[in-house]
Amino acid sequence: SQQGEEDPQALSIQEGENATMNCSYKTSINNLQWYRQNSGRGLVHLILIRSNEREKHSGRLRVTLDTSKKSSSLLITASRAADTASYFCATAASYNTDKLIFGTGTRLQVFP
């Protein structure tokens, strides 16, 4: 069963705007990860945030984690057309870190 649910399912913005995607999950986690997938390609790891962390940055990416609400958000600042892709959150449960459970993803379209 899929643990993560992303919101919104699809997002369209103009270049230069910020994009925010949200992820909710159901069980206690060890860590939460965000991935990017260009159309028809494999996944690229973006960032990992551990359950004892609240915020993490990587370049134009900012991830927050609220374990009390079982939710995370991914913010992409100053978006570019090249950011157009699907973005997935994935969680490793605290009781079983052996596997990742993926959400349904957010399709981001950035218009030039």
Partner 1 sequence: DGGITQSPKYLFRKEGQNVTLSCEQNLNHDAMYWYRQDPGQGLRLIYYSQIVNDFQKGDIAEGYSVSREKKESFPLTVTSAQKNPTAFYLCASSSGLGWYFGAGTRLSVL
Site residues, partner 1 (CB under 8 A): 1-2, 4, 31, 33, 35, 40-45, 48, 88, 90, 97-105, 107
The least CB distance from residue 46 to partner 1, in Å, is 11
Taking the least distance from each CB to partner 1, the nearer of 22 and 77 is 22
Q: What is the DSSP string of 22-78?
A: EEE-SS-EEEEEEEEE-TTS-EEEEEEEETT-SEEEETTEEEEEETTTTEEEEEE-S
Taking the least distance from each CB to partner 1, the nearer of 14 and 38 is 38
The least CB distance from residue 2 to partner 1, in Å, is 6
Q: Which two tokens stand for residue 62?
A: 């900012």
Taking the least distance from each CB to partner 1, the nearer of 63 and 105 is 105
The least CB distance from residue 12 to partner 1, in Å, is 16
Q: Which two tokens stand for residue 52?
A: 């004892």
The rounded distance, in Å, linking the Cα atoms of 101 and 109 is 24
